[in-house]
């Protein structure tokens, strides 16, 4: 699968918004010109960006007539850095509201991976009138697993990489990020490490944020019934960052949710099973 038409540089845009009382320059990638808009929100790993998380998912959606926005949350990618002492989920939701309002988008579909799933749920609670459909992968609300000790081994390796951004620690995180790490290329690792080293302020501010408030992603399980958007919950059975049973909590709490679990899949469903995931998303959005 290739992105023959779209490139990161060719779709790169910035928008100035105000969130958490600060003026922030937010980076996003903008591809396609459809009336329906799909926003993709990345996870919280060091070096993550919208493009790094979702570059295998842009072309099929634009080919189907959707406009796709990949938003770099504050503290990641080319967006401004920030220390978050409250709820990171709510902060990202406030930033997304600024982007949606600034681009004059009345309603959007949202695809969120890990932290992006948490942020999507927070946005749906804050701005239900602006949400068309939700797709949550490996995230959506905080809270512990019934079967896996917390924090998980993946989260421990992620936090170590934030504190010590070395190639060895990046390798240690990525080797359990997906079910089969043989698909991770040297080019991907170089891009990820370059992203990490390019903005050490992002890493330092994330560590400061966690020190100020360890509960960056609060548990919204008690409010899930308020979300009325049709929701597709997607999980990897072998997710070692956010255990699969967390998806069952979303299925139980969200009134209009369905759940699909991929076998032989880790925390990156949209990357490991991109073609199947893309078909599933297109079917869900169009029916």
Q: What are phi and psi of 109, to 5 degrees?
A: -85, 145
Bridge partners for 135 per DSSP: 111, 232
| Catalytic-role residue among 27, 42, 267, 273 | 267
> Collapsing DSSP states into helix, strand and coil, what is residue 197?
helix
Residue 132 CB-density burial (10 A; 0-12 exposed, 13-18 middle, 19+ buried): middle
**CA–CA gap between residue 174 and residue 171 (Å, rounded):** 5
> How open is the CA angle 57-127-39, to the nearest 5 degrees?
10
Within 10 Å of residue 88's Cβ, how many Cβ atoms? 26
Q: Does the annotation count 27 as an active-site position?
A: no
- Provide the annotated active-site residues: 267
């Amino acid at each position: 699968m290739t992105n023959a038409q779209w490139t990161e540089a060719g779709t790169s845009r910035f928008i100035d918004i105000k969130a958490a009382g600060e003026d922030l320059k937010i980076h996003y990638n903008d591809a396609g010109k459809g009336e329906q808009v799909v926003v993709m929100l990345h996870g919280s790993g060091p070096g993550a960006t919208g493009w790094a998380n979702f570059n295998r998912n842009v072309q099929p959606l634009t080919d189907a007539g959707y406009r796709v926005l990949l938003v770099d949350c504050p503290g990641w990618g080319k967006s401004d850095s920030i220390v978050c002492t409250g709820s990171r989920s709510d902060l990202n939701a406030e930033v997304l509201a600024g982007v949606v309002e600034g681009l004059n988008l009345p309603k959007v579909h949202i695809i969120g991976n890990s932290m992006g799933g948490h942020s999507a749920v927070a946005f749906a609670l804050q701005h239900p009138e602006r949400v068309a459909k939700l797709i949550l992968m490996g995230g959506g609300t905080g809270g512990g697993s019934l079967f896996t000790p917390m924090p998980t081994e993946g989260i421990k390796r992620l936090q170590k990489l934030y504190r010590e951004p070395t190639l060895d620690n990046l390798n240690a995180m990525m080797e359990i990020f997906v079910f089969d790490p043989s698909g991770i290329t040297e080019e991907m690792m170089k891009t990820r490490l370059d992203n990490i080293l390019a903005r050490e302020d992002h890493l330092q501010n994330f560590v400061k944020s966690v020190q100020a408030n360890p509960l960056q992603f609060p548990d919204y399980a008690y409010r899930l019934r308020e979300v009325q958007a049709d929701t597709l919950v997607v999980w990897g059975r072998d997710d070692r960052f956010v255990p699969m049973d967390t998806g069952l909590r979303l299925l139980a709490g969200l009134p209009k949710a369905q759940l699909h679990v991929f076998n032989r899949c880790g925390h990156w469903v949209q990357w490991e099973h991109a073609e199947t995931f893309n078909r599933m998303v297109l079917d869900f959005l169009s029916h």
